[in-house]
Every structure is written in C-alpha cells, then in structure tokens.
C-alpha cells in the first residue's frame, strides 16, 4: 500500500519470520551461534527461549536455512499433542507414512529404522519443536525417549526445543529431571535495547528500499522502543502503522509527532497496550507538542543568532581600532617629521653655544661646531695629568 510512496520493494515490517530481515543484534548473534554449535556438534537437547515476539522463529528460520543438504529436518509447530500423536507427527514430517491401526511400538520401530538409514547415508536427523512450552509432561517424556535412539558413538536424532520463558519453568519440574540433565545448550533471547532498536528499524528499511532508504531519527526509534519494550514483533507493528499513517497524510519524513499520534491511535483501539508505569520513562514526555525537528531547527537558529552577534561585536571592535589608528596616524607623522621651520634651522650651521631644551624633553647632548673636535673625558684627563694648556677655541 505505502511501498511505492516510500520507494520500498516490499513491506519492511511484515510479521512473517523472514530470515532476510534478521537483524544481527548481539543477542541474536549469540543465540544463532549456540544453535549452530549444538546442531553441528551433535550435542544433547538444545533449548532456546524468549519472550513472545522476541524473534525466536525468525532466528530458527535463519539457522535452518544455513544447514547443508545432508540434514533431514522434522519441524513441529503445533504442539497441542499427546504422546502418540507426537510420534506420528514426527514421522509424517520426516516423510514416513504410518499405516492405519499401527501400534505405538511399530511406529517407534519404523522411526528407528529411518534414523538408522539416515545415519548410514551420512545424514543428520534434526527434530525442531516450536512452541514447546505447550507440550504436556507425557509428550515431553516421549521426546526424551526419542533421544534414546542412538548408536554406540552418537545420537541418531538431534532435538531442538524452542519456546517462551514458561518452558524453563516446565523443564524445572521434578518429573522432568532426566530430560533437564540432557540439555547441553541453553540460551534465552533478551529484548533489544534502545540503540539496537534504532539499528533494527533502519536495517529493515534499508533491506526493503529500492533507492535511497528512508531513515528514522533516534527520537522516533526511542519512542517505538519504549512502547514495544524492545520486542521485534511489537516494533514491527508500530513501525508498519507509522508508515501507513505517514502515507495517508502524505508525509515523506517520519518524525516524533507522527509517531506519537500513531501510538495514541494504537493504544486507543486496543492494538497495543500502554507500557507499565514501572518501566523506564520515555525519552521525552508524550504531551510535548513540539517535534524533534522543530527543536533542532530552533537550536540551529539560536546558534546562528549567537554567531551573528559575535560577528557584529568583532566588526565593531575592528572598526574602533581602525578609527583609532586613523586618528593617531597624523599625530605620529607630526612627531616624527619636524616642521619646515625646524628643518630650515637645522640646515643652517649650528651656533657655538648649546641650545637649551624644554623641560618636557630629555637633556640633549651638546652639539659642538663641526670645525672643532669634541673634547672627550680621556682628553681632559690627559691634560690634567700632563699640565697641558687648554685649546684656544675652548677659552
């Protein structure tokens, strides 16, 4: 609907578990590593848990896509089964047909033969049970019994349990002590933090973009993170609604004001529930009427005004210094260059007597006529010692 308006190839926030849109956050990278290690290492039971909408199924899809062709997979998504129905469902997903009226021992024998044939052919048999928290205690015990199908060297079947946090409580029951001891890989998916939510949203927008991708600012993603608690499914619901509302109002840019309107609409219609009061406060009050873009523009204008005031002050100071320099220049030139009368007097021969200087000027050294040598201190001292007569010109 809005794909062409935002230059998108497809809806980036669809709820289907598409591995192409898996964002490699820290927790998802770790969970994927644990999952691959357990499968490739032929470990015991692998248990992956997480909150509703935390991305468990998408993670599982990505792990299954990375498997080679030497792995046979049986995946159960409907776990409201009893013990016998569970065995039949596993056989059907492996491609085995259970004859009508076949007893449970015969079912287990056929399944065991299939697993032995797979191991002989060098193939790995993998059983993945999604939503495993819904299994009854009898069904979980039947799963444990399936893990007993083994050779002297290794297990014939690898089992992965995917479920909600309540699966940990179920496995902690005393009746399942034997199953719990066989769990060798266990990981719990945590929600995304604010930084990862920002990266997650823009990652999906880039994956779906045809040209230049649409970008969501940090204030928008922080609002989405707070209302979604960092759960990818809730993030997808909010982000998809924001794009839909933006398309309806023909707004090319997604801002915090539009996001708040969408969140209010989702909460009023019951699609989303308001965060619990105990959770951390949102990055900004929801009642703020000014969007982040307006705040940013106001800050830029204020900064520009400060720069203009500073430039005006500098120009005024430079003008004052220029005026002062211009006013002082003639006086300095008069002080350096004597008047014409003074220059004329200096060009005439100097009189025999020394001119007296004004009190304001420092005493000048006496100027003698150029035709008589100037008597130095050494000359007077020599005349005194040797009783020499004074020169006639001195008298």
Q: How confident is the model at residue 383 (pLDDT cuts 50, 70, 90)?
A: low
Stretch 110-133: mean pLDDT, rounded? Answer: 91
247, pLDDT greater than 80: yes
Question: What local confidence, expressed as pLDDT, does residue 393 receive?
Answer: 45
Question: What local confidence, expressed as pLDDT, does residue 358 receive?
Answer: 44
Stretch 144-169: mean pLDDT, rounded? Answer: 88
β-bridge partners, 49: 163, 188
Q: For residue 280, count other CB atoms closer than 10 A to its CB.
A: 10
Q: For residue 345, count other CB atoms closer than 10 A to its CB.
A: 12
Q: How confident is the model at residue 202 (pLDDT cuts 50, 70, 90)?
A: very high
* The CATH number of domain 26-189, selected from 3.20.190.10, 3.40.50.300, 2.130.10.10, 3.40.50.620: 3.40.50.300
Q: Does pTM top 0.85 for this prediction?
A: no
pLDDT in tens, 331-373: 555 555 555 555 545 555 544 444 444 444 455 455 444 444 5
Q: Please report, for the chain, the start and end positions of each structural domain, with discontinuous segments joined by +.
A: 26-189, 194-289, 296-325
81, pLDDT greater than 60: yes
Q: Which residues of 144-183 are buried (b: 16+ CB within 10 A; e: fewer)?
A: bebbebeeeeebbbbbbbbbbeebeebbeeeebeebbeeb
Q: Which residues of 187-216 are buried (b: 16+ CB within 10 A; e: fewer)?
A: bebbbbebebbbbbbbbbbebbbeeebbeb
- DSSP for 325-362 reads HHHHHHHHHHHHS--HHHHHHHHSPPPSSPPPPPTTSP
Stretch 43-67: mean pLDDT, rounded? Answer: 89
Taking each helix axis as running N to C, give the angle between helix 56-65 and helix 26-40, from 0 to 180 degrees, rounded to the nearest 10. 50
Q: Which two tokens stand for residue 80?
A: 């409201």
Question: What local confidence, expressed as pLDDT, does residue 389 receive?
Answer: 52
- DSSP for 92-151 reads HHTTPPPPTT--HHHHHHHHHHHHHHHHHTT-EEEEEESSGGGS-HHHHHHHHHHTT-B-
Q: For residue 45, count other CB atoms closer than 10 A to its CB.
A: 22
Under a CB-based contact definition with an 8 Å cutoff, are residues 135 and 143 in contact?
yes
Stretch 188-204: mean pLDDT, rounded? Answer: 94
Q: Which two tokens stand for residue 393?
A: 């010109």
Better pLDDT: 383 or 199: 199
Work out the mean pLDDT of the chain and round it to a whole number: 80
- Who's near 246: CB < 8 A, 6+ residues apart? 2, 6, 252, 254, 258
Kindly state the DSSP code that residue 389 receives in the 8-state scheme. Answer: P
Stretch 18-29: mean pLDDT, rounded? Answer: 90
Stretch 222-231: mean pLDDT, rounded? Answer: 94
Stretch 165-183: mean pLDDT, rounded? Answer: 92
Q: Which helix (H) or strand (E) holds 246?
A: helix 232-248
Alpha-carbon gap, residue 154 to 156, rounded angstroms: 7
Residues of the chain with pLDDT > 70, as a percent, come to 77
């Amino acid at each position: 609907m809005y794909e062409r308006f935002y230059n998108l190839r497809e809806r980036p926030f669809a709820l289907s578990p598409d591995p192409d849109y898996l964002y490699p956050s820290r927790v998802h990278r770790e969970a994927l590593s644990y999952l691959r290690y357990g499968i490739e290492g032929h470990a015991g039971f692998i248990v992956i848990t997480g909150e509703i909408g935390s991305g468990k199924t998408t993670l599982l899809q990505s792990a299954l896509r990375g498997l080679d062709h030497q792995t046979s997979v049986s995946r159960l998504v409907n776990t409201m089964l009893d013990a016998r129905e569970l065995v039949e469902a596993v056989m059907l997903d492996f491609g085995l047909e259970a004859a009508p009226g076949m007893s449970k021992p015969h079912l287990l024998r056929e399944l065991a033969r299939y697993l032995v044939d797979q191991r002989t052919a060098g193939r790995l048999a993998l059983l993945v049970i999604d939503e495993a928290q819904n299994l009854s205690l009898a069904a979980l015990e039947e799963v444990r019994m399936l893990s007993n199908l083994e050779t002297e060297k290794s297990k014939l079947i690898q089992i992965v349990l995917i479920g909600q946090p309540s699966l940990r409580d179920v496995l902690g029951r005393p009746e399942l002590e034997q199953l719990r001891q066989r769990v060798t890989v266990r990981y719990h998916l945590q929600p995304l933090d604010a930084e990862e939510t920002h990266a997650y949203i823009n990652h999906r927008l880039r994956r779906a973009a045809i040209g230049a991708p649409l970008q969501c600012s940090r204030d928008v993603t922080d609002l989405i993170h707070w209302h979604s608690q960092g759960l990818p499914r809730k993030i997808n619901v909010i982000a998809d609604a924001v794009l839909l509302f933006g398309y309806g109002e023909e707004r090319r840019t997604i801002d915090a004001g539009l996001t708040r309107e969408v969140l209010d609409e989702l909460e009023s219609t019951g699609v989303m529930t308001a965060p619990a009061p105990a959770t951390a406060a949102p990055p900004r009050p929801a009642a703020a009427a000014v969007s982040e873009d307006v705040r940013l523009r106001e800050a830029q204008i204020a900064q520009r005004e400060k720069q203009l005031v500073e430039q005006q002050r500098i120009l005024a100071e430079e003008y004052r210094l220029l005026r002062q320099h211009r006013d002082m220049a003639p006086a300095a030139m008069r002080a350096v260059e004597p008047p014409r009368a003074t220059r004329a007097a200096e060009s005439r021969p100097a009189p025999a007597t020394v001119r007296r200087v004004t009190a304001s000027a420092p005493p000048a050294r006496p100027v003698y006529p150029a035709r008589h040598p100037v008597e130095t201190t050494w000359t007077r001292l020599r005349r005194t010692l040797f009783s020499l007569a004074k020169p006639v010109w001195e008298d």
